[in-house]
Amino acid sequence: DNRVVTGSVLGGRTAAGSEAYLGRYHSQVTVIREGRDRPLFGYLSPGKERHSVMGIYISSFFKSAPLPLSTSAQGSDRAMVPIGAYEKVMPLDILPTQLLRALIVGDIESAISLGALELDEEDLALCSYVCPGKYEYGTLLRENLTRIEKEA
């Protein structure tokens, strides 16, 4: 079973039903395996065929073949843990951990002072990818920007 995405995997939208077309501003269609399988005690496995940006699985030592990626989030949502992952992938000169915390709690004053008005949803796609708490920061940014627009 596959998922069709209009745009990139990091910033695209699911193309299904009546919306199964290439988006207006997209130049690619991506097909990725639907990850519906839930392994029993998957957190106890050494991760021979699992990908991690932080290098916590044994697969990070053996970089021979590309690992299979899917849409699975590998578990439920967790709390945001500041372990330095956001600073490694953020290409802009901002404080990503503090900004992302402000977006999560809806603190628009702090978000504005930390540079939220200079960002777009796809600027936070890599932060969503490396997040151990599995947050979608692009959606959180859009919600906060809409709230800023209504209140300002």
Per-residue pLDDT of the chain (152 residues; tens, 9 = 90+): 888 888 887 777 778 776 677 777 788 888 888 877 777 666 666 666 676 777 666 767 777 667 667 666 666 667 887 888 899 998 889 999 999 999 999 999 999 999 999 999 889 988 988 888 888 899 999 999 999 999 97
Instruction: Specify the pLDDT at position 37.
Output: 72
Instruction: Specify the pLDDT at position 75.
Output: 65
Amino acid at 39: P
Instruction: Specify the pLDDT at position 74.
Output: 63
Instruction: Specify the pLDDT at position 11.
Output: 78
What distances in angstroms separate CA 137 from CA 73, 87, 130, one per listed residue? 15, 14, 11
Instruction: Specify the pLDDT at position 100.
Output: 95
Count of alpha carbons within 13 angstroms of residue 121, beta-carbon side: 15
Instruction: Specify the pLDDT at position 19.
Output: 64
pTM summary value: 0.72
Instruction: Specify the pLDDT at position 27.
Output: 82
119 and 141 Cβ atoms separated by less than 8 Å: yes
